[in-house]
């Protein structure tokens, strides 16, 4: 047989070799050049599981734990292993129906996959947990209970200070640069957020190997890379939780804020903001329910008015102005003014509460009697001081003083999202008055009005400066960190003394102190007097406006009070704002007096306890709130009906006249609607039809 | 082992092929062991238990060894003498599949009786290699004739047609590898080149927008005509040829490929082909795929991509030297589907890295070259043709299998010879190789 075509065997060999070469090149790029695949493999197969330690505890100045951790339980489900489970019994225990049960299983399977466990019901109520715990053996491996530490607040106080812990949202995760992962819990507001890294402790990490269905098969490399979780460290605060409770109680049914600071350290002893809420509401199973309730409330209970409220300082600013004037040399302790009830220095007279001659004969008297004329004059003297050559420079100089006193700046308290208030700069007035303004234009700045706004914290801090005769520490809550090391730099800023006006001689301060003491002894705030304690104080009654439905409406005056005590060696400085409550002496002053007595004598006299009840039981909620709430709720109900076609919510707001009945609670309103419905069923059905359900 | 004794029994057998065979089977069992071994299992006990996959493969190997001995003690004349008979048996078995098949993993090509599975299409590879060798070695055959070329092609491709009808496109493609044999025996190279060109055209059709491609083809045709203008002037029929070729290309591109994808391929095949070239399935094919092929699962975009993606991750993460035996996280924890069978190459890629895959490729290349060398030293045409058949089938399996694990070829379920888990495939490849060894032992004889 002739062997022809033998050369073709070489071609075939070449084809074989060429194909193998292509594969070899491909393998070379895959295995040697490209490095992404090994990373992908690790991501695929190794599960990094975080182990969460219990969060740190916060203690008050007497060593009481303001918040605690308790264990709650999540019911977890692994959908692939739910087979032959007594569904109906489970539904009975959880008080759900079978449709709900199936939907939850499907949701879990959809969200996390059939082989991975997901939350079936988060944070079980104690009753449900007890019922389930007894019966878990019935449900096999498909269900199990997962421990989850949850905060509790035994004193039910300090909600705004503590903040709350919640699941990290996408923003937090993105900002943390991968430190937080979905499902992590993180301090969302308050001290929980500010001291997150200390309270959270050190998360432990376990590396677990998983298979293609995400089932865990064991520890990666026998746990060689695992790290143990370290419990969160505790925080020692300056808070006096009993004082805090008292402050919150006094503000019941009011809108306002109280801040109490220890002037010697800047430590905040109490900080209340009203309306408030029970911090336990946002810590357990009902977070969503309460959170939406709080968010939808027009009185904004989640708002911490002590650091975010924008209030005109009113007369509480007068002692500071006196100090500025003294430092600038435009007034002396002996300066006085002949005021007869009005200040006529400008075209527009400014009214003064006192008319009798000699009520502003000297600085001390002017402070004690809160003479508007004196302080309008002093403001003008400061701003128009010829050495600055013009009102604008003089004004900027005054603003510099204000900033030194902590007004118009963020003080830097250890709570997130503090507001800075407003001390406008000269550019603001240039713009407003087209460059043509003088000290008369904004004369009411001299009595803490005009465009000036401050936060209660700033007022309290300014009181500290006066009490300390010139210096202050940045107000803060946390005194020390458990097992503090040099790496914990977070508290360093709070331990630095800020010397603002220490060069003013103490004798000058004494004059201001005397004036402020006279306010209580024989001036506007005699109601705040406590036998045996020298209180220095200043009342304030500030005009304020609010835009209601597009109209700038003048509301009842805010009641302000600022004080410190005792005069010698001061231990506490307090600022109180009660919105739309009238004179400073009417509400804010007695509150301050109670707080001082409670803090300085550690108890309240019997008749004073009655006084607490009287104040707590007085409703001073501004009238506009009800209307606004009604408006907001009805608009939301209408939107809901537009969206879903469900008119049941809107029904509550339907009535013959569209204006809400004044002074009615929601319950009364519902009762009214029911009454209308009962008496005029026809009219109601027609109306419903017209809406087009 | 049993084979060492055989060296004495059977004279003239090619020892290097036997060693290569043993080496590959050993690598295979080790790879399957790496995939399926669970920490803590007693190794020896589970190897003998017939419960684990590696134990089963080990027993399949013992059965294959016994079969190999039987083949080696068979007279070499037996094979050419019964080649046609075997072919007939193979075709009958393939036909039997139609009434008796049972549905396993989307294929309709498996006969089952009493727990034992049998896939005739797999077995037919051996049969076709024998029958084709028999036909090509007919003493008065003139393979330059088109008629004999057509008969040879029909012999090779009849089982392929049946395979396609049984939804086993992958196995059907294997039969195209027999064109290597025909090429060696004198099939004009132009046929292979034309076939290859058509394949290239089909792929480019999928890659390039159809109007653009038509313009490109026209431009190429005009260019060719221009370059060959002298010849065209002398021979008028050249221009006709060019126009015809151009028309054929455009026809394929405009109508042939869409027809193929709309009416011939199953939805999952369309999907895999497009995944290989890194494209989403175009909506025109998607709609047809979803509605026309009753019984197919609906097409999900980029879903079968998962296999290849995980397989690439596994191989790629092996790096230069690999993670070591039993340390590959990808393959150990079943991220790669079908990793004991079709995707076994991943295990080697992950466990032993580039060094391991190169070593394996080298072993295969030595095996193929050795088979070609063995083929060329045969005196009888039958033995030579058969040897080329074996080489071609092995080559096709190796290249397509590895290419699909690294994403160079669409995922068609064909095993890696001697390494993939599976009794049928191991037995088939063993039979193929040992018939060759047996024939080679009698290389001086002229077999008809």
Which chain B residues have a beta carbon less than 8 Å from that of A28? 354
B4–chain A nearest CA distance, Å: 30
* Residues A52 and A149: beta-carbon distance below 8 Å: yes
Q: Which of A203-207, B142-146, B254-258, B357-361 has the lowest mean pLDDT?
A: A203-207
Distant-in-sequence, close-in-space partners of A662: CB < 8 Å, separation ≥ 6: A626
Tokens of A5: 């075509």
Please, what is the average pLDDT of chain A? 83
Contacts with A290 (C-beta within 8 Å, 6 or more apart), sequence order: A277, A281, A282
Q: Give the list of residues 6+ apart from residue B75 with CB closer than 8 angstroms, or none.
A: none
Distance in angstroms (rounded) separating the CA atoms of residues A243 and A235: 19
pLDDT the model gives residue A578 = 93
Across chain B, mean pLDDT equals 82
**Beta carbons of B184 and A12 less than 8 Å apart:** yes
**Dist CA A404 CA A410 (whole Å):** 11
- The DSSP code for A680 is -
Give Cα separations from B236 to A186, B218, B248 (angstroms).
85, 19, 19
Please compute, for residue A316, the number of CA atoms within 13 A of its CA located in the half-sphere on the CB side: 41
Examine the pLDDT at B301 and tell me if it is beyond 50. no
The beta-carbon neighbor of A27 closest among B39, B183, B354 is B354
Which residues 193-212 of chain B have a CB within 8 Å of chain A? none
pLDDT in tens, B71-88: 998 888 899 999 999 999
- Taking an 8 Å cut-off on Cβ atoms, the answer to whether B329 and A44 are in contact is yes
Answer positive or negative: Cα dihedral of B202, B205, B210, B211. negative
- As given in the structure block, the two tokens for residue A606 are 């019997």
A6/B316 Cβ within 8 A: no
Q: Which residues contact B56 (CB under 8 A, 6 or more apart)?
A: B50, B421, B423
What does the pLDDT average to over B366-374? 94
Report how far residue A265's alpha carbon sits from residue A468's, in angstroms, rounded to the nearest whole number: 10
Span B31-45, mean pLDDT? 80
A478-491 average pLDDT score: 86
Q: Cβ of B380 and A44 within 8 Å? A: no
pLDDT at A687: 42
- A40, closest residue in chain B (CA to CA): B313
Cβ(B323)–Cβ(B7) below 8 Å: no
Q: Is the pLDDT of residue B393 over 70?
A: yes
**CA–CA dist A260, A243 (Å, integer):** 9
Half-sphere exposure for B304 (CA within 13 Å, toward CB): 26
A437 burial level (CB within 10 Å; 0-12, 13-18, 19+): middle
Provide the pLDDT for residue B214. Answer: 85
pLDDT at B288 > cutoff 60: no
Angle between helices B381-405 and B423-441 (to 10 degrees): 150
Residue B436 has pLDDT above 90, yes or no: yes
Please give the backbone phi and psi of residue A343, each rounded to the nearest 5 degrees, phi first. Answer: -105, 120
CB contact under 8 A, B314 and A41: yes
How far apart are the CA of B359 and the nearest CA of chain A, in angstroms?
11
Contact by Cβ (8 Å): B54, B45:
no
User: What is the per-residue pLDDT for A121?
Assistant: 83
- A101, A87 in Cβ contact below 8 A? yes
- Burial (CB < 10 A; 0-12, 13-18, 19+), residue A546, is middle
Chain A residues close to B315, C-beta within 8 Å:
27, 30-31, 37
For A671, residues 6+ apart whose C-beta sits below 8 A from its C-beta are none
Q: At what angle do helices A36-45 and B305-317 cross, to 10 degrees?
A: 110
DSSP per-residue string spanning A636-661: HHHHHHHHH---HHHHTT--SSSSPP
Say which range, A118-127, B7-16, B42-51, has the weakest mean pLDDT.
B7-16
pLDDT at B415 over 60: yes
- Which residue on chain A is closest to B371 by alpha carbon? A13
A22 interface with B at CB cutoff 8 Å: yes
Angle made by CA atoms A616, A622, A627, in degrees to the nearest 5: 130
The pLDDT-based confidence of B270 (bands split at 50, 70, 90) is confident
Residue A489 to residue A198: CA distance in whole angstroms? 11
Q: Which position has the token pair 């197919």?
A: B296
Min Cα distance A18 → chain B (Å) is 11
Mean pLDDT on A148-168: 86
pLDDT tens string B13-34: 889 999 999 999 999 999 988 8
Report the residue count for chain A. 693
B184/A5 CB distance under 8 A: yes
DSSP state letter for A57: P
Residue A517 contacts residue A570 (beta carbons within 8 Å): no
Whether chain B has a CB inside 8 Å of the CB on A211: the answer is yes
A:37-56 residues touching chain B, CB 8 A cutoff: 37-38, 40-42, 44-46
Whose tokens are 């369309």? That residue is B270
Q: Residue B4: its pLDDT value, please?
A: 47
pLDDT in tens, A559-611: 999 999 899 899 999 999 999 888 888 899 999 999 999 999 988 888 889 99
Query: What is the C-alpha separation between A368 and A362, in angstroms, rounded?
Result: 10
Mean pLDDT, residues A99-105: 88
In this predicted complex, what is the ipTM?
0.85
Per the CB < 8 Å rule, is B317 touching A38? yes
Q: B402–A23: do the CB atoms touch at under 8 Å? A: yes
- pLDDT exceeds cutoff 60 at B294: no
Tokens representing residue A487 in the block: 């790496």
Residue that wins the pLDDT comparison between A358 and A462: A462
Question: Residue A202 gets which letter from DSSP?
Answer: B
Distance of alpha carbon B202 from alpha carbon A305, whole angstroms: 73
**Residue B345 reports pLDDT greater than 70:** yes
Q: What is the model's pLDDT at position A224?
A: 63
Residue B298 has pLDDT above 50, yes or no: no
Residues of B in contact with A36 (CB under 8 A): 316
Integer angstrom CA distances of residue A589 from A132, A314, A540, A586, B322:
53, 14, 9, 6, 79
CB contact under 8 Å between B316 and A30, yes or no, is yes
**Contact status of B343 with chain A (Cβ, < 8 Å):** no
pLDDT surpasses 70 at B49: yes
Residue identified by tokens 């046929």 is B191
For the residues B182-189, what does the mean pLDDT come to? Answer: 86
pTM: 0.58
pLDDT score of B289 more than 50: no
In angstroms, the CA B327 to CA A260 distance is 63
Shortest CA gap A118–chain B (Å): 22
Maximum average pLDDT range among A137-146, A181-190, A618-627, B56-65: B56-65
Average pLDDT over every residue of A58-71: 88
Q: Look at residue A666 in the predicted model and tell me its pLDDT.
A: 64
- The contacts of residue A19 (CB under 8 Å, 6+ apart) are B395, B399
Per the CB < 8 A criterion, the answer to whether A190 and A182 are in contact is no
Give the model's pLDDT for residue B355. Answer: 93
Q: Structure tokens of A61?
A: 């100045």
Q: For A605-657, write each residue's pLDDT tens digit.
A: 888 899 999 999 988 888 888 888 888 888 888 888 888 877 777 877 776 55
DSSP string, A240-306: -HHHHHHHHHHTTT--EEEEEEETTTTEEEEEEEES---GGGGTSTTHHHHHHHHHH-TT-TTS-HH
Q: Do A19 and B399 touch (CB under 8 A)?
A: yes
B357 band by pLDDT with thresholds 50, 70 and 90: very high
Which letter does DSSP use for residue A125 in this model?
A: -
A281 to chain B, closest Cα gap in Å: 44
Q: Is B408 within 8 Å of chain A by CB?
A: yes
Dihedral sign for Cα atoms in the order A598, A602, A607, A612: positive
* B317 → chain A, closest CA residue: A38
**Is residue B370 less than 8 Å (CB to CB) from chain A?**
no
For the segment A46-62, the average pLDDT, to the nearest whole number, is: 79
pLDDT of A246 over the 90 cut = yes
Q: What is residue B278's predicted lDDT score, i.e. its pLDDT?
A: 60
Segment A294-321 shows an average pLDDT of: 90
Cα-based angle A79, A82, A87 (whole degrees, multiple of 5): 120
Which residue is closest to A210 within chain B, CA to CA? Answer: B333
Whole-angstrom CA distances from B35 to B97, B334, B417 are 32, 8, 17
Q: Mean pLDDT, to the nearest integer, of A169-196?
A: 81
pLDDT confidence bin for B334, thresholds 50/70/90? low
Provide, as residue numbers in chain B, all residues whose Cβ is less than 8 Å from the Cβ of A38: 316-317, 319
Asked whether residue A372 carries a pLDDT value surpassing 70, the answer given is yes
The position carrying tokens 């439905």 is A549
């Amino acid at each position: 047989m002739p062997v022809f075509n033998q050369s073709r065997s070489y071609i075939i060999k070449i084809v074989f070799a060429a194909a193998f070469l292509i594969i070899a090149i491909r393998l070379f790029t895959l295995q040697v050049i490209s490095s992404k695949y090994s990373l992908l493999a690790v991501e695929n197969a190794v599960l990094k599981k975080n182990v969460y330690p219990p969060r740190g505890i916060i203690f008050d100045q007497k060593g009481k734990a303001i918040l605690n951790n308790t264990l709650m339980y999540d019911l977890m489900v692994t959908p692939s292993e739910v087979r032959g489970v007594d569904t109906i019994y489970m539904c009975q225990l959880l008080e759900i129906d079978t449709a709900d049960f199936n939907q939850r299983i499907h949701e879990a399977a959809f969200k996390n996959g059939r082989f991975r466990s997901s939350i079936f019901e988060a944070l079980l109520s104690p009753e449900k947990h007890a019922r389930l715990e007894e019966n878990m053996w019935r449900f096999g491996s498909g269900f199990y209970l997962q421990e989850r530490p949850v905060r509790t607040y035994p004193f039910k106080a300090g909600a705004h200070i503590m903040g709350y812990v919640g699941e990290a949202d996408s923003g937090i995760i993105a900002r943390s640069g991968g430190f937080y992962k979905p499902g992590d819990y993180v301090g969302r507001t308050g001290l929980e957020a500010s001291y997150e890294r200390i309270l959270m402790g050190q998360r432990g990490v376990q590396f677990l190997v998983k298979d293609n269905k995400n089932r865990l098969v064991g520890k990666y490399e026998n746990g060689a890379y695992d790290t143990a979780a370290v419990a969160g460290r505790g925080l020692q605060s300056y808070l006096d939780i009993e004082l805090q409770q008292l402050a919150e109680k006094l503000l019941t049914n009011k809108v306002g804020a109280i801040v109490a600071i220890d002037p010697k350290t800047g430590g905040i002893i109490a900080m209340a903001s009203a309306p408030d809420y029970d911090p336990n509401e946002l810590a357990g199973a009902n977070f969503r329910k309460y959170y939406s309730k709080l968010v939808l409330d027009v009185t904004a209970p989640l708002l911490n008015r002590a650091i975010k409220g924008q209030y005109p300082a009113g007369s509480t600013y007068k002692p500071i102005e006196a100090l500025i004037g003294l430092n600038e040399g435009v007034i002396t302790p002996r300066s006085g003014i002949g005021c007869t009830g009005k200040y006529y220095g400008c075209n527009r007279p400014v009214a003064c509460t006192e008319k009798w001659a000699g009520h502003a004969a000297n600085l001390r008297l002017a402070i004690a009697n809160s003479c508007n004329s004196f302080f309008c004059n002093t403001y003008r003297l400061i701003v128009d001081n010829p050495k600055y050559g013009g009102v604008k420079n003089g004004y900027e100089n005054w603003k510099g003083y204000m900033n030194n006193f902590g007004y118009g700046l963020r003080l830097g308290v250890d709570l997130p999202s503090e507001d800075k208030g407003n001390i406008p700069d000269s550019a603001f007035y240039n713009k407003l008055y087209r460059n043509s303004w003088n000290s008369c234009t904004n004369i009411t700045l001299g009595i803490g009005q005009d465009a000036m706004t401050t936060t209660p914290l700033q007022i309290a801090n300014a009181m500290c400066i006066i009490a300390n005769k010139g210096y202050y520490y940045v107000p803060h809550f946390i005194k020390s960190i458990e097992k503090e090391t040099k790496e914990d730099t977070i508290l360093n800023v709070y331990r630095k003394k800020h010397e603002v006006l220490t060069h003013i001689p103490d004798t000058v301060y004494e004059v201001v102190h005397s004036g402020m003491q006279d306010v209580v002894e024989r001036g506007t705030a005699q109601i705040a007097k406590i036998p045996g304690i020298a209180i220095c104080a200043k009342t304030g009654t500030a005009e304020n406006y609010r835009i209601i439905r597009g109209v700038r409406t003048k509301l009842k005056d805010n009641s302000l009070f600022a004080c410190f005590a005792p005069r010698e060696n001061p231990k506490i400085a307090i600022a109180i704002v009660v919105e739309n409550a009238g004179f400073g002496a009417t509400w804010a002053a007695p509150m301050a007096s109670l707080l001082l007595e409670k803090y300085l004598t550690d108890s309240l006299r019997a008749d004073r306890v009655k006084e607490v009840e009287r104040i707590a039981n007085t409703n001073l909620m501004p009238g506009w709130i009800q209307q606004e709430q009604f408006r907001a709720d009805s608009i939301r109900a209408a939107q809901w009906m537009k969206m879903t076609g469900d008119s049941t919510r809107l029904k509550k707001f339907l009535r013959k006249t569209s204006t809400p009945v004044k002074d009615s609670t929601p319950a009364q309103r519902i009762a009214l609607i029911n009454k209308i419905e009962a008496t005029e069923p026809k009219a109601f059905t027609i109306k419903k039809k017209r809406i087009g359900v | 082992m049993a084979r060492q004794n055989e060296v004495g029994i059977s004279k003239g057998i090619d020892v290097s092929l036997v060693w290569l065979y043993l080496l590959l089977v050993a690598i295979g069992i080790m790879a399957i062991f790496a995939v399926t071994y669970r920490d803590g299992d007693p190794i020896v006990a589970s190897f003998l238990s017939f419960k684990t996959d590696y134990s089963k493969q080990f027993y399949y190997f013992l059965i294959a060894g016994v079969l190999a001995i039987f083949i080696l003690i068979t007279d070499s004349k037996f094979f050419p003498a019964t080649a046609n008979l075997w072919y007939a048996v193979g075709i009958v078995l393939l036909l039997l599949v139609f009434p008796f098949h049972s549905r396993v993993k989307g294929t309709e090509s498996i006969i089952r009786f009493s727990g034992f599975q049998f896939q005739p299409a797999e077995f037919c590879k051996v049969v076709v290699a024998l029958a084709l060798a028999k036909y090509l070695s007919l003493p008065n055959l003139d393979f330059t004739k088109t008629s004999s070329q057509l008969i040879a092609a029909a012999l090779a491709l009849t089982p392929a047609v049946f395979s396609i009808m049984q939804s086993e496109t992958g196995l059907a493609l294997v039969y195209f590898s027999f064109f290597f044999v025909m090429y060696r025996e004198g099939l004009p190279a132009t046929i292979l080149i034309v076939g290859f060109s058509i394949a290239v055209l089909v792929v480019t059709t999928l890659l390039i927008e159809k109007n653009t491609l038509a313009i490109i083809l026209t431009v190429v045709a005009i260019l060719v005509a221009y370059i060959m203008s002298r010849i065209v002037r002398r021979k008028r029929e050249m221009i006709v040829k060019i126009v015809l070729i151009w028309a054929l290309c455009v026809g394929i591109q405009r109508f042939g490929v869409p027809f193929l994808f709309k009416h011939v391929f199953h939805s999952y095949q369309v999907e895999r082909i497009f995944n290989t070239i890194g494209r989403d399935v175009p909506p025109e094919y998607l709609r047809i795929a979803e509605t026309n092929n009753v019984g197919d699962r609906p097409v999900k975009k980029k879903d079968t991509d998962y296999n290849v993606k995980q397989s690439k991750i596994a191989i790629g993460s092996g790096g230069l030297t690999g993670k070591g035996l039993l340390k590959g996280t990808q393959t150990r924890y079943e991220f790669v589907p079908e990793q004991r069978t079709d995707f076994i190459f991943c295990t080697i890629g992950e466990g032993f890295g580039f060094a391991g895959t190169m070593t394996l490729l080298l072993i295969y290349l030595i095996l193929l070259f050795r088979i070609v060398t063995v083929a060329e030293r045969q005196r009888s045409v039958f033995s030579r043709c058969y040897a080329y058949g074996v080489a071609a089938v092995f080559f096709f399996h190796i290249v397509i299998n590895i290419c699909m694990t690294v994403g160079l070829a669409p995922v068609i379920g064909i095993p890696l010879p001697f390494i993939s888990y599976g009794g049928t495939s191991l037995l088939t490849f063993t039979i193929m190789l040992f018939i060759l060894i047996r024939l080679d032992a009698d290389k001086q004889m002229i077999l008809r």
